[in-house]
Amino acid sequence: MTETLSLTAAAVKFTCGMTPAALTGEHLRLARRCVLDGLAVALGGSQQPGMAPLGRYILSLGGVADARPMGAAGHRLPAHLAALWTGTAGHAMDWDDTQLAEGPGRPYGLLMHPTMPPLAAAMALTDMVARETGKPVDGARFLTAFATGFEVGCKIAEAINPDHYMRGFHTSGTIGAFAATATACRMLDLDEETTARAIGIAASCSAGIRANFGTMTKPFHVGRAAENGVTAALLARQGFSANTEALDGKWGYLTIAGPGGDPALVVEKFGAPFTMVSPGVSIKPYPSGVLTHPSMDAMALLMAEEGIAAQDIESVGLYAGSNVLGPIRYRIAKTELEGKFSFAFLLAAIALRNRCGKEEFTDDFVSSDACQAMQHRIETHFSEEIEAMGWDRIRSRVEIVTKDGRKVARWANEAYRGSPHNPLSDEELQGKFADNAAGLLTPEQQQKVFDLVWSLETAPDAGALVELTNWGALDGVGA
- The dihedral through the CA atoms of 29, 456, 149, 221 has a sign that is negative
At residue 455, the pLDDT reads: 98
Domain that holds residue 366: 290-411
Count helices and strands (H / E) in the chain. Answer: 22, 6
CB atoms within 10 A of CB 21: 8
At residue 1, the pLDDT reads: 42
Let me know if residue 133 belongs to a domain.
yes
Q: Could you write out the DSSP letters of every residue in 413-438? A: PSS-TTSTTSPPPHHHHHHHHHHHHT
Let me know if residue 422 belongs to a domain.
no
Pair (25, 62) in one structural domain: yes
Let me know if residue 372 belongs to a domain.
yes
The separation between CA 363 and the C-alpha centre of its own chain, rounded to angstroms, equals: 22
Let me know if residue 368 belongs to a domain.
yes
Pair (243, 320) in one structural domain: no
Pair (150, 277) in one structural domain: yes
Q: Which residues of the chain have pLDDT under 70?
A: 1-3, 103-104, 107-110, 475-479
Pair (150, 33) in one structural domain: yes
Torsion of CA 436, 441, 445, 448, to 10 degrees: -30
Pair (325, 278) in one structural domain: no
**Nearest Cα to Cα of residue 183 among 152, 222, 219:** 152
- The dihedral through the CA atoms of 275, 15, 91, 461 has a sign that is negative
**For the chain, what is the domain count?**
2
Pair (60, 155) in one structural domain: yes
Pair (201, 332) in one structural domain: no
Give the whole-angstrom CA distance, residue 119 versus residue 294. Answer: 27
**Nearest Cα to Cα of residue 44 among 475, 471, 479, 467:** 471
At residue 471, the pLDDT reads: 87
At residue 97, the pLDDT reads: 96
Pair (172, 295) in one structural domain: no
Give the whole-angstrom CA distance, residue 14 versus residue 375. Answer: 48
Pair (190, 325) in one structural domain: no
Give the whole-angstrom CA distance, residue 446 versus residue 437. Answer: 8
At residue 354, the pLDDT reads: 94
Instruction: Answer yes or no: are the C-beta atoms of 344 and 331 closer than 8 Å.
Output: yes
Look up the CATH number of the domain holding residue 272: 1.10.4100.10
At residue 477, the pLDDT reads: 38
At residue 289, the pLDDT reads: 82
Instruction: Answer yes or no: are the C-beta atoms of 184 and 226 closer than 8 Å.
Output: no
At residue 110, the pLDDT reads: 62
Pair (448, 398) in one structural domain: no
Domain boundary among 380, 411, 442: 411
Instruction: Answer yes or no: are the C-beta atoms of 157 and 208 closer than 8 Å.
Output: no
Look up the CATH number of the domain holding residue 393: 3.30.1330.120
Instruction: Please state the pTM of the whole predicted model.
Output: 0.91
Using DSSP, state whether 313 is helix, strand or coil: strand
Pair (312, 188) in one structural domain: no
The separation between CA 218 and the C-alpha centre of its own chain, rounded to angstroms, equals: 11
The separation between CA 433 and the C-alpha centre of its own chain, rounded to angstroms, equals: 15
Let me know if residue 421 belongs to a domain.
no
Q: Could you write out the DSSP letters of every residue in 314-357? A: EEEEEEE-HHHHTT---SS-SSHHHHTT-HHHHHHHHHHHS--S
Pair (231, 376) in one structural domain: no
